[in-house]
Amino acid sequence: MHTTKSLRTSFCKILLLAALVAFLTPAAHADTLYVSNIVSGVVTSFDSAGTGSIVTNAGLDQPVGLAFDATGNLFVSNFNGNYITKITPTLAQSIVIDNTTLGSGPHMDEPTGLAFDSLGNLYIANIGAGTIIQVTPGGVGSLYASAGLNTPIGLAFGPNGHLFVANTGQSPGLNSGSRFIEEIFSAGSSVDHFYAGLSIPFGIAFSPTGDLFVANLGNNTIEKINVTTGVTSTFASGAAVNVPTGVAFDSAGTLYVANAGNNTIYKFDSAGTPTLFAQNVGGDLNQPRLLAFAPEETTATPLPATFWNGLTMLALCGPYPLLRRLRNPATRTQNF
């Protein structure tokens, strides 16, 4: 009798463990990389294997900046057309911001980099005006920053919540030829010359550890900057970095670099070792500019049947079996 009770207890523990494992195991998610191509006027997506497909080849006018909102909509800046296109997960496409919708507020002038903050505000870098415009989720635009900016392109929010900006133009007051990264603390505040001495910084991205990575187009390097100390080092160079434009990190912390010089994308491990990820096939990479990874899937995933089976059996085999079985709400049927 004692042996039977022990076996039943052990069996129930195993069922409980199986149910917990089923509950805690996350659903697999394959990172999808999006690339703007300014010459061909298309946005391309690449799966984790590097297989590309054109997301859209209509309605865009020299796309450059890419950014996803919290619900998975892709926003694209159109450099020549001065408007922002929204592409939904179902590929419905529309112009959501242009100089008409902005009204009497600041206007776009050759928009490039895009970024969303945690509140859903969209930030737009403008090369022609040397400004950054903030647009609320309701579509209200305002001037976020201008003083000290010179042909801004890449945008990225840092771990401290500040907006970082890559300026391809020369920094006022610094040595001739010096380009810089700006740090903007809040709307209307003076910009801080966070890091100078770069040669045409283009795309920027923060790593999972909080370091800032810069596509240093003028020197064909990828620079790594510790934002706490300001110490910089060259993370990558050589044949895998050929007129680098866009940079982005996937969910595993792997760095991806778009190269306009040879229409390729390379990925780099934490040691800076490159691997060819994608190259131009049928026009899916034609003068690539900026990169963006689609956000993690946010739709609820039904709990697997093993979870409900485990709880049902646990309820039945406990010291005081429940009189009714647990039901799987996804099917409304009993699991045994």
> For residue 187, what pLDDT is reported?
74
Mean of all residue pLDDT scores within the chain: 82
- DSSP character at residue 217: G
Q: Of 25-29, 159-163, 190-194, 243-247, which has the strongest mean pLDDT? A: 243-247
Partners of 267 in the β-ladder: 256, 275
pLDDT category at 178 given cuts 50, 70, 90 is low
> For residue 299, what pLDDT is reported?
37
pLDDT category at 1 given cuts 50, 70, 90 is low
The answer on pLDDT for 302 being more than 70 is no
The answer on pLDDT for 330 being more than 70 is no
Q: Calculate mean pLDDT across residues 79-97.
A: 96
The answer on pLDDT for 68 being more than 90 is yes
pLDDT category at 82 given cuts 50, 70, 90 is very high
Q: Beta strand 163-167 with 42-46: parallel, antiparallel or unpaired?
A: unpaired
Mark residue 291 as left, alpha or beta (left: phi above 0; alpha: psi -120 to 50; beta: remaining).
beta
Compare 7 and 323 and report the one with higher pLDDT.
Answer: 7
Compare 161 and 297 and report the one with higher pLDDT.
Answer: 161
Q: What percent of the chain has pLDDT over 90?
A: 63
Q: What percent of the chain has pLDDT over 70?
A: 74
DSSP one-letter string for 263-317? TEEEEE-TT--EEEEEE-STTSSSSEEEEEEPPPP-SPPPPPHHHHHHHHHHHHH
Neighbours of 4 (CB within 10 A): 8
> For residue 282, what pLDDT is reported?
83
Backbone CA torsion sign across 146, 184, 120, 35: positive
Q: What is the pLDDT of residues 147-169, one digit of tens each?
A: 878 899 999 999 999 999 999 87
How far apart are alpha carbons 276 and 241 in whole angstroms? 11
pLDDT category at 217 given cuts 50, 70, 90 is very high
Residues 6+ positions from 168 with CB-CB distance below 8 Å: 127, 150, 151, 152, 153, 179, 200, 201, 202, 217
Q: Is 143 exposed, middle or buried (0-12, 13-18, 19+ CB in 10 A)?
A: middle
Q: Calculate mean pLDDT across residues 25-32.
A: 56
The answer on pLDDT for 93 being more than 80 is yes
Starting at the edge strand found earlier in the chain, the sheet holding 131-135 runs 111-116, 122-126, 131-135, 141-145
Q: Calculate mean pLDDT across residues 71-89.
A: 97
At CA 120, angle to CA 207 and CA 169, rounded to 5?
A: 55
The answer on pLDDT for 3 being more than 60 is no
> For residue 183, what pLDDT is reported?
82
| Residue found under tokens 């691997």 | 275
Query: What does the chain come to in residues?
Result: 336
Residue 87 CA neighbour count, 13 Å, CB half: 23
* Side chain identity at residue 332, one-letter code: R
Compare 168 and 131 and report the one with higher pLDDT.
Answer: 131
Q: What is the pLDDT of residues 224-249, one digit of tens each?
A: 999 888 889 999 999 999 999 999 99
Q: What is the pTM of this model?
A: 0.80
- DSSP character at residue 26: P
Partners of 216 in the β-ladder: 201, 221
> For residue 313, what pLDDT is reported?
47
pLDDT category at 17 given cuts 50, 70, 90 is low
Structure tokens at 149: 């900016």
SS3 256: strand
